[in-house]
Structure 1
Amino acid sequence: MAPTEMIYALIGLALVVWIYWINRDLLRTGGVSAIEWTCYLVALPALLIGWYFNIVYMREYRAAAGWWHWTTLLFVNPASASGGQDLIFANLILFPLWTIVDGRRLGMKAPWVYFVMSLVTSYAFAIALFMAIRERQLRQQSAVA
């Protein structure tokens, strides 16, 4: 793994560890629900497949590799542009809005970090992890009420 690839991987893993660390009390209570299991089952392959393609991208484009270049490649044809614009709107506007607003309403810790995590791991991974922790938060609040 090249130094840049390693840095992104370490930042991503550090953010995941941090999320679990700050939510350790929440995660100690109750079992894992079917929704949580589903989220984790989606998160893992999303992370691994996303990292695989990002590593291939960084190795193929070396010096040109970067956020700007990666984003321009989303628009090389109409099909990829359709998916690319969806990804940009969803990940850069709707995802932080959703995680921060909904996370704060539910009393989740550091809801903004899921967006940051999505930039160095995988958008689908960050969504799945947010949804799993959100589900646990909702179940804990229901149990207390």
Structure 2
Amino acid sequence: MTKNWTPLAAVYLALSLGGLVGTWTFNLLAIVQLRDFVGDWVNSGPAVSSLTVDLLVVAVAGSILIIVEARRIGMKRGWLYVVLSGLTAFAFTFPLFLAMRERTLQAQRVRPAPAGARTR
């Protein structure tokens, strides 16, 4: 693998791409069929509404995690993943964030210690 692409980062990236293709396949189908996307989303019965609430709560919690974790480990523009999820899908941006997070952590693990720093 290339620099900082751990196997875990590659798995997250593959999930991200699967999320993008999977969600946009159905989004495009809805557009072509001139469907009422939001109406279909919330008016198809209690099971779909349950799933909607479930995924919405996960997306909100994941968005908070993205912003907090990006700041904690020094990733720039973590908020952009949250914004992009509204334009693409959270199923794409969350695993993409996890892949980039893994790369950032890997880079921090392999970065040489500053001159004069003590090592354990």
Identify the TM-score tier after normalising by the shorter chain. 0.7 to 0.9
RMSD: 1.8
Q: 2:49 is matched with which residue?
A: 81
Q: Identify which of structures 1 and 2 has the higher relative contact order when contacts are C-alpha pairs closer than 8 Å and 6+ apart.
A: 2
**TM norm structure 2:** 0.81
Contact 2:8 2:102 in 1 (8 A): yes
2:105, 2:21 → 1: CA distance?
Answer: 28
Aligned length: 110
Matches within 5 A, 1:47-126: 47-61=20-34, 65=36, 69-70=37-38, 72-75=39-42, 76-91=44-59, 93-126=60-93
1:41 equivalent in structure 2: 14
- Tell me the alpha carbon deviations over residues 24-64 of structure 1, each in whole angstroms, 9 at most, x when there is no partner: xxxxx8242110111121122211121110111122236xx
Runs (4+) off by over 3 Å: none
Does the 8 Å contact 1:103/1:134 carry over to 2? yes
Identify the range of structure 1 (34-43 vs 128-137) with the bigger mean alpha-carbon deviation. Answer: 34-43
Identity %: 32
Gaps of 5+ in 2: 114-120
- Say which SS state the counterpart of residue 34 (structure 2) adopts: helix
The gaps in structure 1 that reach 5 residues or longer are: 1-28
